[in-house]
Structure 1
Amino acid sequence: MERLDRLSGRAAGPVLAAAVAGLCFAPVYGLTRLLVPVLVPALVVLAVTVLCGLRPALVDWRPLLSTLAGLLAVAETLLFGTTLAGLPTGRTLGALAGGVTSSWRLVLESTWPARADADLLLFVPLLVTAAAVFGAELRLRLRAPLAALLPSLAVLVVGQLYRALSPGVAVAAALAYAMAAAVTLASRVTLARLAAAGAVSVLVAGLTLILLPDRPARFSLYDGRPAPVDALLPANPLDEIAYRLDHPDAEVFRLTGGSDVDRWPLVVLDDFDGANWNPTGQYRRMGRSLPPGPRVLVGARQRGAEVTVADTGGPWLPSQTWPASVDGIAPLVVPESGVLLRPDAGTGPARYTIRWWQPDVDWPTLSRLPVDAGAPGGLNPLPDPPDDVVKLAEQAMSGQRPTFQGALVLEKYLSTHYHAAGGPGRPTGHGWPQLRNFLLGTRDGTSEQFAAAYVVMARAVGIPARLVVGFRTPRPAADGSIVVRNRDVLAWPEVAVQGVGWVGLDPTGSATGATTGTGLSAATAEARAALPPLGELREPEITPVAPGPGPAAGPGVPWVALVAAPLVGWPLGVPALWTVRSWRRRRRGGAAAVLGAWAEVRDRLRAYGVAVTPGMTVRDLGAAARTVADDGTVGDIRELAGLVDRALWAGGRVGAEDVTRAWASVRAVRRGLGRGGRLPRVRALLDPRPLLPPATGGRRRPGWPWAR
């Protein structure tokens, strides 16, 4: 049993440190998603390491056996679907190899918090397993415990390179790692010194929590790593509008829910080279969730719908501007625009549930907001814009400044002076020649020409705008289902508004013919209806938007501190008080220091459950100690009794040698009491009651089973 206790004590520290380091990947995945994949392999490695240490024949095989056990635990927790009744298969081994070669890279291509899928998460428990095995072996085989912490420190550094912890969480993680390090160093450093170091770390952590600014990390491996699109994207959906209108009955997708949404974007195009419109956003793997866009300052609430795709003509999936989460499929996403792309650019049927953020703003506020010139892609330069098109845009604005009201004025100009074309002779194209012909010639066009013309005119007068291709939402059928067909295809412009994000407009006057929608689309419709006639227009009084409540946030740093304080303060504070009091008793010198040693032994016995009264002598303490200590410890107490007698009756003749012998007896008594087992030793160290004066009664304190 003593050997088992020693082995578990030495191996537990490095394994615990490795587990804490693995949990520091919480900003990437979320803490709850890491608990099982990190803790189970760590505990398995610890158990196998200790059991192998009990059999000398297995000591040389211990690293291999503990590694295999850790890998098996990883497979059972993350790759159970690849096993055969829990037994690893070739697929399991292939997945583990992918965890080494590609998992670390795939998570860098994802939005965070990332999905806890095996192909994105595997490298974390593999790192923890390796660090636990190496750390435990270094601790058991070397006389330098600090070296056993190096593997876990490496994991900790890698986690911070992915995403650094916020100051409050970092303090809690540092304290947890410090406790693991203390367990690792326990055989080399006395508990008293460890307690003192723990008290200092609590003080430093508290000051850090208050003074350290919460700023983004200066470096992260996450920066600039888009997900590659494995196949070339097919034709631009903008080029397919005419074809879809010529084949109106083909089904594109179905909706369950979402009937209050007037449009479903498919792709966002914000770069124009004079002939074609192209997207500029970078795709990332869709993580577990996305917050509202960083430029959305008003409050936002989530809405949801289930989408069943038949064929969108390419890899794009119907989406919303600010998607929150997608379940049922793991798509790629452009976070700035909300565009969804199937993995590996696949096509064909698909089914998924999408939730999105819907900004909350009323129409009077929306009408008074300025545009957001800093929105990504909104003011991308126009190549060689024709002078007559620029002059037409300035004329259409009637002197209005770049505000949302000005954007509505431009929308009204196009919807009033131009006509939506129908029939088989519909115009096609969206380059400068087609746009000049539409704006200055025929004045007839489809939503393709209306949307493209609006965007170039808006940018010419300083309004950030982009072009979106998607579908309007038709009215529900009699059974409540919503079937979107080719006839519902639509192109429309969006303008960037400060504090609200991208707002869809309708220069054709037909985008909201099926449903007016709710939320932002309803506020836009009301602001459009309230727009005064051109002759009565006045510059709006610009109202800066104040940040709204936004989505519910987690507990802030003060709450973290309040929760962590009792958890860390007790196990670190009580041993620190023991250390400080012992130091003060010894530093008195002379007879007072010898009497302080007597008081120290008395309080140590109280911590182990021995009934102590103020009138007991040292010899009485020795007799009472037989219930919790061996004969050697009782002998050390009797030796101390002789020194106490000299201190009480010899006056000033107590020298430094007597003080040294008295406190050597204290250390011997502590070692003797500690031989009763690890659990009683830890409980005695953390018991705060012996820090108070002893009670006058002589009864044993109840509730301490090891003292019975």
Structure 2
Amino acid sequence: MRRIAARSWVDLGVLAVLSITGILGYATAFGTMNFLLAAAGGLLIGTAAAVAGSLFRLDVLTTTLIGIAAYFLFGGAFALPATTIAVVVPSLDTFAMLAIGAVFGWADIVTIGAPVEAPHYVAAVPLAAAWVVSLVGSMLALRWLPKKRTPWRTSLLVIGPGLLYLSGILLGTDEPVLAGVRGLVFAVLSLIWVAWRQASAAPVSGDGAARLRRRRIAGTAAVVAGAVVVGGVAGAAVQPASPERYVLREQVVPPFDPLEFPSPLSGFRHFTKDLADTPILEVSGVEPGDKIRLASMDAYTGKLWNVAGPEDPAGQDGGYAIVGETLPQPDTASLGGERSVEIASTGYADVWMPTVGYGSAIRLVEPAELTRSADLRYNAEAGTAVLTTGVEEGTAYTLDARVSKVPGDEELAEVPVAQLPVPAAQSVPDVVTAKAEEWAGEQASVIGQIRAIERALKTNGFLSHGLASDAVPSRAGHGADRIIELFTRSQMIGDEEQYATAMALMVRQLGYPSRVVMGFAPEIAEGAGTVEVTGSDVTAWVEVPFEGIGWVAFDPTPEQTDAPKDQVPKPKTEPQPQVRQPPRAQNDAEDLLATVEIDETEDEDRDPPFRIPGWVWAIALSLGIPAAIVFLPLLAVAAAKEARRRRRMSGPGYRSSAGAWEEFVDRSAELGLEPPERGSRLVFARTLGQRLAEQDLAASAAPATRADAAHRTAIATAEVTALAASVDRDVFSGREVDAAEAKARWAEADRVLGEIERSGGRVRRILARYRYRRRRRRSRKDAS
């Protein structure tokens, strides 16, 4: 085994500290320090793989393969323990999430609202980042840096931790994490490392060495002090800290566009007609007066209310971002009582998730695959959530939320409306503006004007869902033509869809922002456990924002259902002349055919005769993937070695004999006995003998064992020397070498190599199977 110098261990420690300093910037994205366990695991796995490759003299490719295998075998314990078996053994889900997280986690993390908690594979991002930097940096520190220690070589090793530092800024939020402290630690440690790793031009001893050491310490202290003063004090005075940082999440528009889905309000009558008596939700944890929110809409197109698109700068409800379990809090809401709600869909199917109040945490329970999805999006200002894959029957989740405080009109009398940006309403009928000015009247306060409009709609209108049982029919829709009909008929007749639309537009015409909210308002008794929600509980209301309070709800829908019928005279019927009907035609020939029942059951609907259980597939894949990681590289290297051997055995006898020696040298190098780059075969033989002796003596402790090892080494060295001399005679004698002699050289080389393999130990033989080395064919001049 190759010995690692103490200076190299110091280099590895410095790289680890710099990497941890840089990756601390991820704290703002993940919210807590739990990600540090994954980052530390990545550093440990990458560094351990590089150290193992250096100790056993493995080449770069083999070391990289070992690092990849270690990432998949041990990464789950650090980043995804919930997917492993007994926290240590990786499962099929562990392999899949480690791969997906390393490839796609970078794109997901900038679109997920902080703190990032879902999808679970995002935890693989700090693991993979630290693993790559530590694996590459450690291999360079152990293999490349010791060959010639110069400042520029050491500086190149700082690039990896520097990239981690930069990624912590770009993937985080606009709130820095100890930016000044981390920056100074990173800069100072890097400067000291680069300065002290510069090799002296000539060896110095005695008093000269002491003076040189004192100068280096003084110089390093001066550089550090200068960096602190210039970077920390002067830098802050010349260029104060910017209140905004450039982070990727602020530049990326969430991919979800609510305009791709139908307006929730357009399906209002589906609930009142088709699902009126159908249980659609089971909700527990709610209290009397609570409403279940589906969606809030602030954009009116003249045809319908809808959620503003993500690119609309005036849309308060268009910002649906990917979230984890923790939900962001609204900026414009005064929150009161807490709720812990459990919601299960029994017949509801849509992308809009029923919620209560403004959520603080949400946990998907059923089905199980949703708990690992990245399809949950939430809008803090609207208090509504979206599951892009759709809420279906059987979907269940829990919600921690707080409901808005309901202030009285006395509290709102002196409070102005919050001038929040909302999309301008389009194609608003003139009658809406006229009615708004008429009903608002001479009210002085804003709340008085809004209450007047709400009261006029409730007292002058009648409620009708357009059902057959209603006394007066009511047409569905809430476009401009339907709102004109609502105000111009002799009686205002409609349901929550029309009244909420009318009031929201009237408030807009007075110059105040407003939005329409659709949801459910079931009857909730005091102390009720689980509440069953049916389609008849659907409702819609209006919300208007007030300064310092948030969005206040208004309900303009009347409770009166007995609307007077319009008196329209029925037209008189006139008698029609009787016409003799023609005789009935004879039965067609087709009517005489007997009905035959045909069994249309398809063969594929029948159960197969044999089906492999799912647990068998899970076990096979859990064992097959690690086996493939371990044995596929072994098979590939073995195939390459066999092709190399056949190629060298072909050709004339002298060339085949030389090929036997080349094969012997390469296989010795694969065992860790590296020959010199140049020299004759006899020089190679003596060098191999010396390294074989060093290997045997290092593995032997007792004097008797050392004596046996020295005896075996002497015999092996003599046999290698004899093999080198035989090959030299075959190559340089000028005589014809027949196939039998060449075959004898190969047999002799294999025998000597077998003795070397047995003396090297089982571990060295196993590792040699993963190594592939091909020495270039030397010219006749080099061979001599």
- With normalisation by structure 1, the TM-score equals 0.64
**Aligned partner (choices 398, 423, 436) of residue 353 of structure 1:** 398
* CA deviations over 1:445-468 (Å, ceiling 9, x no partner): 211111011111111111211111
**Structural mapping, 1:528-677, within 5 Å:** none
Specify the alignment match of 1:312 in structure 2.
348
Specify the alignment match of 2:6 in structure 1.
5
Specify the alignment match of 1:30 in structure 2.
31
Give the direction of change, closer, same or farther, for the CA distance of 1:176–1:37 in structure 2 (3 Å limit): farther
Partners of 1:231 and 1:344 within 8 A in 2: no
CA distance in 2, matches of 1:313, 1:477: 29
Say whether residues 1:285 and 2:286 are aligned partners. no
Partners of 1:107 and 1:114 within 8 A in 2: yes
* CA deviations over 1:218-260 (Å, ceiling 9, x no partner): 4534434213479963673443336425643211222221214
Partners of 1:110 and 1:285 within 8 A in 2: yes
In the alignment, structure 2 segments of 5+ residues that lack a partner are 199-215, 309-317, 365-370, 561-784
Partners of 2:483 and 2:498 within 8 A in 1: yes
Specify the alignment match of 1:448 in structure 2.
497
Say whether residues 1:429 and 2:486 are aligned partners. no
CA distance in 2, matches of 1:155, 1:240: 51
Following superposition, the deviation at residue 125 of structure 1 comes to 1.7
AA aligned to 2:342 is E
Specify the alignment match of 1:340 in structure 2.
385
Partners of 1:71 and 1:129 within 8 A in 2: no
AA aligned to 1:75 is G
Identity of aligned residues (%): 22
Following superposition, the deviation at residue 21 of structure 1 comes to 2.1
With 497-506 and 187-196 compared, the bigger mean Cα shift is at: 187-196
CA distance in 2, matches of 1:355, 1:438: 40
Specify the alignment match of 2:99 in structure 1.
97
**Aligned partner (choices 362, 385, 397) of residue 440 of structure 2:** 397
Following superposition, the deviation at residue 390 of structure 1 comes to 0.9
Partners of 1:171 and 1:209 within 8 A in 2: no
- What is the DSSP-based 3-state SS (H/G/I as helix, E as strand, rest coil) of the residue aligned with 1:32? coil
* CA deviations over 1:491-531 (Å, ceiling 9, x no partner): 111112222222211112669xxxxxxxxxxxxxxxxxxxx
Partners of 2:497 and 2:540 within 8 A in 1: yes
Following superposition, the deviation at residue 392 of structure 1 comes to 0.9
- What is the DSSP-based 3-state SS (H/G/I as helix, E as strand, rest coil) of the residue aligned with 2:525? coil
**Structural mapping, 1:465-544, within 5 Å:** 465-476=514-525, 480-508=529-557
Name which one, 1 or 2, has greater alpha-carbon Rg.
Answer: 2
AA aligned to 1:371 is V
Say whether residues 1:382 and 2:425 are aligned partners. yes
Partners of 1:67 and 1:129 within 8 A in 2: no
Partners of 1:41 and 1:73 within 8 A in 2: no
AA aligned to 1:22 is I
- What is the DSSP-based 3-state SS (H/G/I as helix, E as strand, rest coil) of the residue aligned with 1:110? coil
Give the direction of change, closer, same or farther, for the CA distance of 1:497–1:12 in structure 2 (3 Å limit): same
**Structural mapping, 1:121-140, within 5 Å:** 121-140=123-142
Partners of 2:332 and 2:548 within 8 A in 1: yes
CA distance in 1, matches of 2:297, 2:258: 20
Specify the alignment match of 1:551 in structure 2.
none
Give the direction of change, closer, same or farther, for the CA distance of 1:478–1:153 in structure 2 (3 Å limit): closer
Ranked by relative contact order (alpha carbons within 8 Å, sequence separation 6 or more), the top structure is 1
Give the direction of change, closer, same or farther, for the CA distance of 1:192–1:221 in structure 2 (3 Å limit): farther
In the alignment, structure 1 segments of 5+ residues that lack a partner are 512-708
Partners of 2:461 and 2:493 within 8 A in 1: yes
CA distance in 2, matches of 1:239, 1:176: 59
Give the direction of change, closer, same or farther, for the CA distance of 1:231–1:350 in structure 2 (3 Å limit): farther
AA aligned to 2:418 is D
* CA deviations over 1:330-382 (Å, ceiling 9, x no partner): 6222333122122423422222111224455743433321112224x3xx223
Specify the alignment match of 1:154 in structure 2.
163
Partners of 2:450 and 2:507 within 8 A in 1: yes
Partners of 2:27 and 2:177 within 8 A in 1: no
Following superposition, the deviation at residue 66 of structure 1 comes to 3.9
Partners of 1:259 and 1:482 within 8 A in 2: no
Specify the alignment match of 1:114 in structure 2.
116
- What is the DSSP-based 3-state SS (H/G/I as helix, E as strand, rest coil) of the residue aligned with 1:369? coil
CA distance in 2, matches of 1:508, 1:310: 28
Partners of 1:295 and 1:500 within 8 A in 2: yes
Partners of 1:139 and 1:147 within 8 A in 2: no
AA aligned to 1:384 is S
Say whether residues 1:74 and 2:102 are aligned partners. no
Specify the alignment match of 1:592 in structure 2.
none
* CA deviations over 1:419-454 (Å, ceiling 9, x no partner): 223644344221112111212322122111110111
- With normalisation by structure 2, the TM-score equals 0.59
Partners of 1:268 and 1:467 within 8 A in 2: yes
CA distance in 2, matches of 1:433, 1:66: 68
Partners of 1:107 and 1:121 within 8 A in 2: no
CA distance in 2, matches of 1:333, 1:455: 24
Partners of 1:451 and 1:467 within 8 A in 2: yes
Give the direction of change, closer, same or farther, for the CA distance of 1:478–1:18 in structure 2 (3 Å limit): closer
- What is the DSSP-based 3-state SS (H/G/I as helix, E as strand, rest coil) of the residue aligned with 2:389? helix
- What is the DSSP-based 3-state SS (H/G/I as helix, E as strand, rest coil) of the residue aligned with 1:292? coil
Partners of 2:170 and 2:248 within 8 A in 1: yes
Say whether residues 1:166 and 2:211 are aligned partners. no
AA aligned to 2:379 is V
Partners of 2:38 and 2:78 within 8 A in 1: yes
AA aligned to 1:155 is L
Specify the alignment match of 1:241 in structure 2.
269
CA distance in 1, matches of 2:67, 2:243: 40
* CA deviations over 1:383-424 (Å, ceiling 9, x no partner): 232222211111111144683343223212222222223644
Following superposition, the deviation at residue 133 of structure 1 comes to 1.6
Following superposition, the deviation at residue 324 of structure 1 comes to 1.7
Partners of 2:275 and 2:534 within 8 A in 1: no
Give the direction of change, closer, same or farther, for the CA distance of 1:48–1:510 in structure 2 (3 Å limit): farther
Give the direction of change, closer, same or farther, for the CA distance of 1:228–1:12 in structure 2 (3 Å limit): same
CA distance in 2, matches of 1:236, 1:251: 19
Give the direction of change, closer, same or farther, for the CA distance of 1:47–1:313 in structure 2 (3 Å limit): closer
**Aligned partner (choices 411, 429, 433) of residue 454 of structure 2:** 411
Say whether residues 1:275 and 2:323 are aligned partners. no
Partners of 1:24 and 1:173 within 8 A in 2: no
AA aligned to 1:12 is G
Partners of 2:287 and 2:526 within 8 A in 1: no
CA distance in 2, matches of 1:478, 1:262: 13
CA distance in 1, matches of 2:290, 2:41: 48
Give the direction of change, closer, same or farther, for the CA distance of 1:168–1:95 in structure 2 (3 Å limit): closer
CA distance in 2, matches of 1:254, 1:402: 41
Following superposition, the deviation at residue 104 of structure 1 comes to 1.2
Following superposition, the deviation at residue 154 of structure 1 comes to 1.5
Give the direction of change, closer, same or farther, for the CA distance of 1:401–1:353 in structure 2 (3 Å limit): farther
CA distance in 1, matches of 2:97, 2:4: 38
* CA deviations over 1:581-636 (Å, ceiling 9, x no partner): xxxxxxxxxxxxxxxxxxxxxxxxxxxxxxxxxxxxxxxxxxxxxxxxxxxxxxxx
Specify the alignment match of 1:294 in structure 2.
331
Partners of 1:438 and 1:445 within 8 A in 2: yes
- What is the DSSP-based 3-state SS (H/G/I as helix, E as strand, rest coil) of the residue aligned with 1:24? helix
- What is the DSSP-based 3-state SS (H/G/I as helix, E as strand, rest coil) of the residue aligned with 1:395? helix
